[in-house]
Structure 1
Amino acid sequence: MHGFLVVNHYLHGGKYNELHEHLLKTAKAKGIDLDIVTNENAVFLDEKPDFVLFWDKDTILAKAFENRGVPVFNSSRSIEICDDKAKTYLALENKFSQPKTIIAPLSFFAVDYSRFVNMAVEKLGLPVVFKERCGSFGEQVHLCQTVDEVMKHINGKPFLLQEYVECNNSDARLEVVGDRVVASMKRSNKNDFRSNITNGGVAEKYTPTDSEIATAVAVCKELGLTFGGVDILPNGAVCEVNSNAHIINIMNTTGVDVAPLIFDEISERIKQI
């Protein structure tokens, strides 16, 4: 079986290289011929692989592969929903517990959002969480104590406001492959309300509750994910869903290597096509 590992051409760094090399090494051990291809190079390739492991957020390219009849994991639709926090919220709304969320209305140029922010804060209270709709590793996420703080973070990019859920700066990351949770870790941060490891959070192996397991599996099914990382707050609310979570962190924390499980799941799904 021959596949492409699609990564971003313009994103560089040790943690990305480590992940990509780990995926290539795992595929080889599984007898899978996997070539790393950047999204820029992929645009010009005519080759049709057996599958694409899409470790990027270039959903237009992912859709282009799908239009050529190539199975893509995760799918362009699933990645698109997970990459936009507003789309994730709406896809899960009325089906799963989530923090109260108000999505900023669309504007086509710089506008004064002060009226909207004041009305949203009236409903959500203070402090309030400001999130740009697209972003990773907890970046562009801020805990704001005042309306003025919220206004300072508005920069023309789509955003949303969310109620602050007291969680002792911690959450649980459940990694799902197929229809089961394969690894879990608890993340916490003494110095930042964001528990992300990139922001200084620390992780420990975690045994999730039956309810958390059921939620994580159901969320991934709802979003059409073959694999994904689901972040759950201590009150059971779904915080975020990651279509291509950084699986090296959870491997280092739990000892569970998710990569071979992902390739096993992909192989099974290809057999059913």
Structure 2
Amino acid sequence: MTYYGWILYNGHLSGDKFKDYADLLQKAASEAGVRTDIKQNNELLPLLTTNENRLLSNETLPDFVLFGDKDLYLARQLEQLGIPVYNSSRSIELCDDKSFMYQKLAKENFPIPKTILGPKIYRPSQDLSLPMEAVEKELLYPMVIKEAFGSFGEQVYLVHNRNEMMEVVQEIHHRPFLFQQFVSTSYGRDLRLNVVGDRVVAAMKRYSTDDFRANITRGGSMEPYDPTEEEVDLAIRATKAVEADFAGVDLLFGESGEPILCEINGNAQIRNIYECTGINVSDKMVDYVVQDLNTKRGNQQ
């Protein structure tokens, strides 16, 4: 069974890592005998009319899409056209919005840092009305403030007092944000587990000596890691909770070394973990997609 697919990334993000992600997947697909084209999201505009629901482009549609972006509307459009999308629009929706993600994880009793969601504020304001004392009493200092939308450790702030808190909130309050407990026992270190389907296929430990965030893009270091059964189970269950086919799951270290779920990245970059572990996650992703497509076609016959 042969397939033709699109590998999609965002056409307006600067930096080589997004195209590199697509290139890794295309190489893996080629080695698996799967023909693919790399597309940018701005090449594939959805067209909606009373009688039509298609793409503005008249290109031949693929059998599947590897969706390395967060363009939720395009993912939904492709699904409405009957194209399997990996990860699905539902997964993109759950992973991209951290507030939505934490609500989902809390509902299913996952171990997450204590989190307080900020209110919807439509426009910048000098007159903010927020129950700061209640937030401080619940979370204590230092605490983390996160914008709901952000990647690579950006839009994440550590504050140590009311003045620092208000400075950050004043800067970001017109965008969705949240307050979160700071897990001090995990300062400057975390785990990244890459999940494909029902398996953790690669894992690494990340650490930083001068930043509470351990992201490699922020100067952190990395080393291969052999996760415990508890960490593997948590990563797989978390991936299923956000309905993802594959994900990069970030875990923190609790007071007794227990894993705490930090975030689930639905379109996690795979270059760093490849260089760290020698495991090419893109090979596993392509194998998963081919097997899933074979199953879908078998069920339709």
Q: TM-score, normalised by structure 2?
A: 0.88
Query: What is the alpha-carbon distance in structure 1 between the residues aligned to residue 273 and residue 153 of structure 2?
Result: 16
Which residue of structure 1 lines up, in the alignment, with residue 232 of structure 2?
213
Which residue of structure 2 lines up, in the alignment, with residue 163 of structure 1?
181
2:83 maps to 1:60: no
Trace 1:36-47 onto structure 2 (pairs within 5 A): 36-43=38-45, 44-46=56-58, 47=60
Query: What is the alpha-carbon distance in structure 1 between the residues aligned to residue 167 and residue 115 of structure 2?
Result: 19
Trace 1:140-219 onto structure 2 (pairs within 5 A): 140-154=155-169, 155=172, 156-166=174-184, 167-219=186-238
Deviation at 1:272, TM superposition (A): 2.0
| SS at structure 2 position matched to 1:251 | helix
Instruction: Structure 2: give runs of 5+ residues left out of the alignment.
Output: 46-55, 297-301
| SS at structure 2 position matched to 1:183 | strand
Query: What is the alpha-carbon distance in structure 1 between the residues aligned to residue 71 and residue 183 of structure 2?
Result: 31
2:61 maps to 1:48: yes
Tell me which moved more, 262-271 or 117-126. 117-126
Question: After superposition, what is the alpha-carbon deviation per residue over 1:163-219, rounded to whole angstroms, capped at 9, x for unaligned?
Answer: 111113111111000101000000011010001001111110001111000000111
Q: Which of 249, 258, 270 is matched with 1:247 structurally?
A: 270
Query: What is the alpha-carbon distance in structure 2 between the residues aligned to residue 17 and residue 59 of structure 1?
Result: 19
Query: What is the alpha-carbon distance in structure 1 between the residues aligned to residue 21 and residue 269 of structure 2?
Result: 7
| SS at structure 2 position matched to 1:272 | helix
2:117 maps to 1:106: no
Deviation at 1:120, TM superposition (A): 1.0
| SS at structure 2 position matched to 1:136 | coil
Tell me which moved more, 100-109 or 178-187. 100-109
Deviation at 1:64, TM superposition (A): 0.4
Q: Which of 83, 94, 103 is matched with 2:96 structurally?
A: 83
CA contact (8 A) 2:41 2:74 kept: yes
Q: Which of 22, 27, 46 is matched with 1:25 structurally?
A: 27
Which residue of structure 2 lines up, in the alignment, with residue 129 of structure 1?
144
Instruction: Structure 1: give runs of 5+ residues left out of the alignment.
Output: none
CA contact (8 A) 1:173 1:184 kept: yes
Question: After superposition, what is the alpha-carbon deviation per residue over 1:223-248, rounded to whole angstroms, capped at 9, x for unaligned?
Answer: 11100010011121100000011101
Instruction: State the AA in 1 paired with 2:57.
Output: L
Amino-acid identity (%): 42
CA contact (8 A) 2:87 2:244 kept: yes
Question: After superposition, what is the alpha-carbon deviation per residue over 1:121-152, rounded to whole angstroms, capped at 9, x for unaligned?
Answer: 22100001010000000001010011221222
| SS at structure 2 position matched to 1:233 | strand
CA contact (8 A) 1:49 1:70 kept: yes
Query: What is the alpha-carbon distance in structure 2 between the residues aligned to residue 193 and residue 168 of structure 1?
Result: 5
Deviation at 1:114, TM superposition (A): 5.2
Instruction: State the AA in 1 paired with 2:33.
Output: G
Which 4+ runs in 1 deviate beyond 6 A? none
CA contact (8 A) 1:6 1:56 kept: yes
Q: Which of 34, 37, 47 is matched with 2:36 structurally?
A: 34
Q: Which of 11, 16, 19 is matched with 2:18 structurally?
A: 16
Deviation at 1:259, TM superposition (A): 0.3
Instruction: State the AA in 2 paired with 1:255.
Output: G
Question: After superposition, what is the alpha-carbon deviation per residue over 1:48-75, rounded to whole angstroms, capped at 9, x for unaligned?
Answer: 2100000000011000000110000000
Instruction: State the AA in 1 paired with 2:72.
Output: T
Q: TM-score, normalised by structure 1?
A: 0.97
Deviation at 1:271, TM superposition (A): 1.6
Query: What is the alpha-carbon distance in structure 2 between the residues aligned to residue 14 and residue 62 of structure 1?
Result: 22
| SS at structure 2 position matched to 1:249 | helix
The number of residues matched between the two structures is: 273
CA contact (8 A) 2:10 2:18 kept: no
Which residue of structure 2 lines up, in the alignment, with residue 261 of structure 1?
284
Question: After superposition, what is the alpha-carbon deviation per residue over 1:90-137, rounded to whole angstroms, capped at 9, x for unaligned?
Answer: 111142100000000112223444533332122100001010000000
CA contact (8 A) 2:113 2:183 kept: yes
Question: After superposition, what is the alpha-carbon deviation per residue over 1:17-71, rounded to whole angstroms, capped at 9, x for unaligned?
Answer: 3222222111111111111111110112243210000000001100000011000
Query: What is the alpha-carbon distance in structure 2 between the residues aligned to residue 51 and residue 130 of structure 1?
Result: 37
